Structure 1
């Protein structure tokens, strides 16, 4: 009667997939969909989030988000300073910005984890919760620090 004699029960380590993420979202009662590129996507607090599978075997889960509001291009130095300060004090999320087609700066975040050896559902949920919470926290911090009014969330 050894520790490893019985079959494994419960949440086991398995390859990650879009279907597993969707099942986790269903279990949380979250609304989500798939975009034109067939990526899983959803909206939290007005911010669009995308759940991308990268790597040769689709083993990397990249949770990326975009702040709903944009920052005027003339405030780029201030925005860069806010993001640098954030990165100095916190691990997640990775944040960056780029000009939008209209000119203002669009803020984006990423939280990436390589699940080469698989993950449990609990690990995936922890990753997703971390990405959502830290991204929304950064977006709130940017709005507060730069005095940017929050767009109303009509979703």
Structure 2
């Protein structure tokens, strides 16, 4: 199974050339190799963790591409673990913010996880039932949209909760300025 490069939205890098398509394809059951091909074409770095899950790391979060279940009940999940720790006292404010996000957007649906040490982190998730097959175009566009939405959520949270000062304090000093003309399209893969 091959992904038509012209079906992938451009993330600012070089747009791959289309190999042409012979029309719509029938349903496919996606797998990890297909996701790797998509991430390669999107020019995103990825690793396979010790549990065999595919992960794309960014500076402030990691997005996992996971397949769970058997046969017709197989589920494809894109789950983002945001690294920013929040204090337990901030949980009511976090819940209010993510409730607002969850009401206004389709994905990722975001929830909190409180660790044993009392720190709170956020997790975003989108899922698709793939066991009976899905259209390749639907799979590609959903995966790309979910990745972009995960990035957008992080930017939105920083703006909504006024975390920009915290983000600026975490950055190392840059005495030379930005001579490279880098754009501000959000977190970059690590």
Q: Scaled by the length of structure 2, what TM-score is found?
A: 0.69
Unaligned runs of 5+ in 1: 1-7
Query: 2:65·2:78 contact (CA, 8 Å) conserved in 1?
Result: yes
Tell me the matched-pair count.
Answer: 148
Distance 1:48 1:87, change over 3 A: same
Query: 2:47·2:55 contact (CA, 8 Å) conserved in 1?
Result: yes
Distance 1:10 1:54 in 2: 30
Deviations 1:83-136 (A, max 9, x none): 111112122111101113432211000010112332344322212211112122
Check if 1:95 corresponds to 2:110. yes
Superposed displacement of residue 69, structure 1:
1.0
Superposed displacement of residue 11, structure 1:
6.1
Aligned to 2:123: 108
* Bigger RCO (CA 8 Å, 6+ sep): 1
* Structure 1 ranges of 4+ moved more than 4 A: 151-154
* Aligned pair partner of 1:126 in 133, 141, 144: 141
Distance 1:76 1:35 in 2: 29
Deviations 1:33-66 (A, max 9, x none): 1001000111245320101102222731100001
Aligned to 2:49: 35
Of the structure 1 ranges 115-124 and 47-56, higher mean CA displacement relative to structure 2 is found in 115-124
Task: Decide which structure has greater strand share.
Answer: 1
Distance 2:67 2:145 in 1: 17
Superposed displacement of residue 29, structure 1:
2.3
Superposed displacement of residue 14, structure 1:
1.4
Q: Secondary structure at the match of 2:118?
A: coil
Q: Scaled by the length of structure 1, what TM-score is found?
A: 0.83
Aligned to 2:9: none
Aligned to 1:77: 92
